[in-house]
Structure 1
């Protein structure tokens, strides 16, 4: 991961405050100061400025992340070439399978959901557009890792580690490489309750000119995601969808 040579302390503090407000799901000045180990007066000055610029808002005594971030995030997503191309195909995949379909990209070593589509029997999970997840603990993340340069994979692991989300999560570099070899051989990845207990996923990478642009996945409960449905039918549908996306991206 790249590091700023001369980081601006005030900027780092500003984003630390914003991220803390989000992590705490809203908070007051005292709780935020305690959480960050900063003087209340300093925190209050930052909060006042952020509120003035409409990046946060105050509800009674609690500060919340402002809706302005949604506008900025939506603008960033529109600038992703793969988003507009993949979106209709992900929607179609969800409608035809009835499951939860996701489009994810890699950003700063994390996986980021950029689009979700819900079929009639889609499972409710903790993910949403904009959420960031560990690549090694998800099917779509492993599908992406399998097609990144080895040096890039090593860099991601060095920066983010391999945190265990469940007892099934890949825990070592050697184990991960074995899994990535299998993904490259068969063309898709699986997540057998590696991020969330009870959730299984299958995912395929979006590739063009030997580059991985992202991945598409289908997620569902373990009691439904099994047998030929999970091992053959869904992977086939995914690979078909990804092939269409790749062709449309290449020739659009």
Structure 2
């Protein structure tokens, strides 16, 4: 009996929320008949729900032939809404990835000649690798090279240093445009990128793309001691990385968190 009562009230709540969504999408007030027809509700049910929501300020009734629109209470709630940041949304997945593989996990996107680290998660181990800040060079990092690899060749110059040879951080840093172009071709073929001690001695980074259809493109990486992320280990970690990338995209609020990044890119 108790379960049936819960089900009944849940159904009523679902229907009320459906009415609010319908009113929120409409440019004009909607009549009772149109609300009931659109949501396939009995008019008696729609009347009861609208009456309660009107009393609480969630809908407003107007006109000689009553029509309904969003009420003041919705606006009060909206004013208190704070969008969740990308870091807050992705933290559980990145932390789980970092702990599973024992390496630092990074999520980033291109911003000019740099890669912007949106979130960094460190594993629960004594040896850790920090990113050295929220921005890093694109041409010598796993994240940056992977993100450049999906661009047309005539667009990569915007993400490279202005002049050659580029600064070399280790003997393995690629310091020419031709070298980068060749590297990007290999990345496209492999489906992932590797910074093999190009940015920091003794540190290797491996990155994969997030499977999104819309800009901005994001990449996920792990950074580890080079001895622990050799060619054999990369094959082992690649499916784990790809699974984590898919899990990030599947997060309920992930797409909403992309909106500020899209606005930022449009204004850049």
* TM exceeding 0.5: yes
Match of residue 214 from structure 1: 218
Per the TM alignment, residue 131 of structure 1 is displaced from its structure 2 partner at its CA by 2.7
Q: Provide Cα deviations, 1:145-183, integer angstroms capped at 9, x if missing partner.
A: 111333331122254763211110112212211211121
- Between the aligned partners of 1:250 and 1:97, the Cα distance in structure 2 is 26
Correspondence 1:157 to 2:160? yes
Q: CA RMSD in A?
A: 2.7
Q: 2:241 is matched with which residue?
A: 238
State the TM-score, normalizing by the size of structure 1: 0.60
Q: Check the 8 A contact 1:170/1:176 in 2, yes or no.
A: yes
Q: Contact 2:129–2:223 (CA<8 Å) still a contact in 1?
A: no
Alpha-carbon distance in 1 for matches of 2:174, 2:97: 28
3-state SS of 1:183 partner: helix
| Structure 1 equivalent of residue 71 of structure 2 | none
- Displacement of 1:216 after TM fit? 1.1
**Is the CA contact 2:148–2:159 (under 8 Å) kept in the aligned structure 1?**
no
Offset from partner CA, 1:101-154 (integer Å, 9 cap, x none)? 1112222321122211111336333524x4321111111111111113333311
Match of 1:87 among 82, 87, 91: 91
Is the CA contact (8 Å cut-off) linking 1:145 and 1:153 kept in structure 2?
Answer: yes
Equivalent of 1:181, from 180, 185, 199? 185
1:123–1:211 CA distance, 2 compared to 1 (3 A): farther
Q: Secondary structure at the match of 1:194?
A: coil
State the TM-score, normalizing by the size of structure 2.
Answer: 0.57
Question: Cα 1:126–1:208, aligned 2, differ >3 Å: closer, same or farther?
Answer: closer
Distance 1:79 1:136, change over 3 A: farther
Residue in 2 that maps onto 1:125: 129
Give the unaligned 5+ runs of structure 1. Answer: 1-77
Question: Distance between the aligned counterparts of 2:84 and 2:150, measured in 1?
Answer: 19
Aligned to 1:13: none
Please say if residues 104 and 130 of structure 2, whose CA atoms lie closer than 8 Å, have aligned partners that are also in contact.
no
